Chain A
Amino acid sequence: MRPFNPFAAIGRMVLGTLAELGRLSLFAGQALGGLVNPPIYWRLILQQMWVIGYNSLPVIGLTALFTGAALAQQIYVGGSRFNAESVVPGVVVIAIVRELGPVLGGLMVAGRVSSAMAAELGTMRVTEQIDALTTLSTDPFKYLIVPRLVAAVVTLPMLVLIANIIGVLGGYIIGTGRLGLNPGTYLQVTVDFLEKSDVYSSLVKAAVFGFFIALMGSYHGYFSRGGAQGVGKATTNAVVSAFIAILLSNLIITVIVFGGRG
């Protein structure tokens, strides 16, 4: 056996990653191309919106509720050291709307949806259903990929909006029920602290995350090969890469939107 060469290994990894990114960009480009010329399958878009949106509501709601509640408790404990318990509503709403609502919501939906998309498209690939689509004069990109991308980009902002509201509600329940904050003041401070730009950035993040959730699920499913094992691998890769894309794009958007403030 040849001795292990760390430089060669790193080089291969970098080249492999770059090649993968290239393929991913081509894939995304082809999908966006399918978006601009007909036919557009409206029925499939609505169907996907239902699958992505409605079915994600329970998990999104619970995540946001518990996170908002825990956050309020922590900020109360931290703030009470400086006699600053009154900052709880303001910090909760900012933290939820700017970061936790979109990021946690995006990650939860990615776990559900990217994996399901990869598994479904991967199975269609290995059972030749995607080939069958082509022979029936239907472009698999327009029929399978475009509806998933569009539905995810449209649906995620709605889900995150709901997550934001429920997250604030979680903080409110703990704040007023357990920590003894005044309900009227709580709501007033929440509204005063929140800026329009916070909501916009939250929704922009959600749309971007939706794009990556559907892109990663579709990409890994569409190119999966090698039977059930291949589909399993595609599913894992879809979730992992969607997570990374969400966290990285979140950082980039946060730096762009909030980096200038001080």
Chain B
Amino acid sequence: MSGLDKIVLKDVHKSFGPKTVLKSINLAVPAGQSLVVIGGSGTGKSVMLKSVLGLIKPDAGEIMIDGENVLTMSRSERREVLTRFGMLFQGAALFDSLPVWENVAFGLIQGKGMDRKEAQDIAIEKLRRVGLSPDVGNLSPSELSGGMQKRVGLARAIAAEPEIIFFDEPTTGLDPIMADVINDLIVECVKDLGATTISITHDMASARKIADRIAMIYHGEIIWEGTRDEIDRSGNDYVDQFIHGRAHGPIQMEVLKP
């Protein structure tokens, strides 16, 4: 099994000062599969993705990409591995000094050294796939709505057709119809490009559509993992409470009641 795993996290720990965010994360994603990670707000989902990308340095553990531990690599090896990744940030993180099309084409022009004109054509095509017309390409990111920025971020993440793509809340802030278009797009990426993906979402409809497997993170640990069909009969009270969105259950929200 582990020979085919594209991404493996072994006992990954991360604290910020006294605050432990990742306690012991163990995950494996086989090549060409789509894993959806669910879990409450502030439980460390984004920190987990950033640890795999090397944007945050874990305190302990191993992170393997194609069987190689990226945490012990040199900077240049690490950069080489990163060229195989695409990432949609939770806040889109578009470059506001560049027009929209150049944001989408950035990895092609800077990373792969592609000709600007050719990269622009690809960028326009990717924008179309996320439901944005070519004239949006010439706007500045600050002129777009939040949902449009998210879709540009998505177009940028898939533009270079990476082997591994991370989507941090791809459908948050989108209307239900556009959310479903994006779900289809993510499914296509996995099918057509053969990409391996990890998506974070709070949107259970989206999770059911794009996931091969679903994992739930709680208090810095993966407390449940299974296929998308198993989630409804997980027998896990935490998972049940989460997927049905109930205020009462084993997960106590830290809200002060008057």
- A124 CA / B94 CA spacing, docked (Å): 9
> Given A128-B89, A143-B110 in contact, is the A135-B82 Cβ separation under 8 Å?
yes
- The reply to whether A128 and B91 contact each other, CB–CB distance below 8 Å, is yes
- A195 CA / B229 CA spacing, docked (Å): 85
Smallest Cβ-Cβ distance to A132: which chain B residue: B93
Q: Does A20 contact B (CB under 8 A)?
A: no
Q: Does B53 contact A (CB under 8 A)?
A: yes
Q: Does A85 contact B (CB under 8 A)?
A: no
Residues in A with CB closer than 8 Å to B89 are 128, 131-132
Q: Per a CB cutoff under 8 Å, which of B55, B83, B97, B107 touches A131?
A: B55
- A131 CA / B83 CA spacing, docked (Å): 14
Contact with B along A123-135 (1 / 0, CB 8 A): 0100111011111
- The reply to whether A132 and B87 contact each other, CB–CB distance below 8 Å, is yes
B152 CB to closest chain A CB (Å) equals: 12
> Given A134-B53, A134-B55 in contact, is the A139-B87 Cβ separation under 8 Å?
no
- The reply to whether B82 and A127 contact each other, CB–CB distance below 8 Å, is no
Smallest Cβ-Cβ distance to B89: which chain A residue: A128
Smallest Cβ-Cβ distance to B75: which chain A residue: A139
B48 CB to closest chain A CB (Å) equals: 14
Near A by CB (< 8 A), chain B positions 79-103 give 79, 82-83, 85-87, 89, 91, 93-97
Q: Does B106 contact A (CB under 8 A)?
A: yes
Residues in A with CB closer than 8 Å to B83 are 137
- A128 CA / B93 CA spacing, docked (Å): 5
Contact with A along B53-65 (1 / 0, CB 8 A): 1110000000000
Q: Does A1 contact B (CB under 8 A)?
A: no
Residues in A with CB closer than 8 Å to B106 are 136, 138
Residues in A with CB closer than 8 Å to B258 are none
Interface residues of A toward B: which range?
A: 10 to 19
- The reply to whether A137 and B53 contact each other, CB–CB distance below 8 Å, is no
A152 CB to closest chain B CB (Å) equals: 18
Q: Does B228 contact A (CB under 8 A)?
A: no
Smallest Cβ-Cβ distance to A47: which chain B residue: B97
Near B by CB (< 8 A), chain A positions 123-173 give 124, 127-129, 131-139, 143
A49 CB to closest chain B CB (Å) equals: 16
> Given A132-B87, A134-B55 in contact, is the A139-B82 Cβ separation under 8 Å?
no
Q: Does B129 contact A (CB under 8 A)?
A: no
- A33 CA / B85 CA spacing, docked (Å): 26
- The reply to whether B93 and A137 contact each other, CB–CB distance below 8 Å, is no
- The reply to whether A129 and B111 contact each other, CB–CB distance below 8 Å, is no
- A146 CA / B110 CA spacing, docked (Å): 16
- The reply to whether A137 and B110 contact each other, CB–CB distance below 8 Å, is yes
Q: Does B50 contact A (CB under 8 A)?
A: yes
Residues in B with CB closer than 8 Å to A124 are 95
- The reply to whether A135 and B94 contact each other, CB–CB distance below 8 Å, is no
- A111 CA / B152 CA spacing, docked (Å): 35
A36 CB to closest chain B CB (Å) equals: 15
Residues in A with CB closer than 8 Å to B54 are 134
- A143 CA / B85 CA spacing, docked (Å): 19
B146 CB to closest chain A CB (Å) equals: 13
- A120 CA / B98 CA spacing, docked (Å): 13
- The reply to whether B55 and A129 contact each other, CB–CB distance below 8 Å, is no
Smallest Cβ-Cβ distance to A135: which chain B residue: B87
Residues in A with CB closer than 8 Å to B87 are 132, 135
Residues in B with CB closer than 8 Å to A128 are 89, 91, 93
- A138 CA / B109 CA spacing, docked (Å): 10
Residues in A with CB closer than 8 Å to B55 are 131, 134-135
Near B by CB (< 8 A), chain A positions 104-128 give 120, 124, 127-128
Smallest Cβ-Cβ distance to A133: which chain B residue: B95
- The reply to whether B110 and A138 contact each other, CB–CB distance below 8 Å, is yes
Smallest Cβ-Cβ distance to B86: which chain A residue: A135
- A135 CA / B255 CA spacing, docked (Å): 36
Q: Per a CB cutoff under 8 Å, which of B50, B91, B97, B111 touches A137?
A: B111
- A97 CA / B66 CA spacing, docked (Å): 62
- A219 CA / B123 CA spacing, docked (Å): 33
B209 CB to closest chain A CB (Å) equals: 25
A residues sitting closer than 8 Å to B (CB atoms) are 120, 124, 127-129, 131-139, 143
Known: A132-B93, A137-B111, A138-B111. 9 other contacts (CB 8 A): A129-B95, A129-B96, A131-B53, A133-B95, A134-B55, A135-B82, A135-B86, A137-B110, A138-B110
Q: Pick 5 A–B contacts, CB within 8 A, sort by A.
A: A129-B96, A131-B50, A131-B55, A132-B89, A136-B110
Q: What are the nearest 10 A-B pairs in CB distance?
A: A137-B111, A128-B93, A132-B93, A136-B107, A135-B87, A137-B83, A138-B110, A131-B55, A128-B89, A136-B106
